[in-house]
Amino acid sequence: SSIYYGSYDDNIINDISIYPINSISDEDLNGNIIANYHEGVESIINFTGISDFFNRDSTFIINKDHTNLYLFLDRLNSNYSFESGFSDIYCNNSNDNIFLDRVYFDSSDSIVIPIGEIIQKFVNRELDYDGINLRLNSSGYNFNKLVFNKDMDELDKISKINIMYSK
């Protein structure tokens, strides 16, 4: 008889699971900022007037320590599902996947993402600005569905961006 010992690159289990993809209504997509890796849902945030800011002057110097994107989790939304683990949030602009932040399921409702380096790339025209495309990657639990507040009735919890710059 013989005994086989697999090497580190042998796949003993090949996971070919198929999971259902739930449909998300157009109303939910239009009214929310949603990111979900499993279902391939990404959101583009486009702030009013920011493209004019990027086109106005390419000599702006962005203060990377005080330029932040503020997102607020909407845990009461029926599409929200984030009960365990973590999710990594990326900005996917011009085919560049730029890591923004790691969010844990038990973190606070507000997420502050340092975004100064990306804003400087938009100002320098190293990245084409077509909104800030938020996506999750496959790190962490793949079935988390993050929903961020976009409700104008709660101005203290609306997603926003603060940019500090000098010329």
Please give the pLDDT value at position 76. Answer: 84
Rounded Cα–Cα distance for residues 90 and 37 (Å): 11
DSSP 8-state assignment for residue 77 = S
Question: Sign of dihedral through CA atoms 65, 103, 89, 33?
Answer: negative
Structure tokens that stand for 133 in this block: 């495309």
Question: How remote is the C-alpha of 140 from its chain's centroid?
Answer: 14
Q: Contact at 8 Å (CB) between 110 and 51?
A: no
At a CB cut-off of 8 Å and minimum separation 6, what does 129 contact? 50, 51, 54, 93, 122
Please give the pLDDT value at position 1. Answer: 44
pTM of the model: 0.75
pLDDT top residue among 84 and 112: 112
pLDDT above 70 for 8: no
Express each pLDDT in 92-148 by its tens digit: 877 778 899 888 888 788 889 999 999 999 999 988 888 888 888 887 777 788 888
- Across 63-163, the runs of DSSP E, i.e. the strands, are 68-72, 86-93, 96-104, 110-114, 132-136, 145-148, 160-162
Virtual CA dihedral for 44, 45, 48, 51, nearest 10 degrees? Answer: -60
pLDDT above 90 for 162: yes
Average pLDDT, the chain: 80
pLDDT above 70 for 38: yes
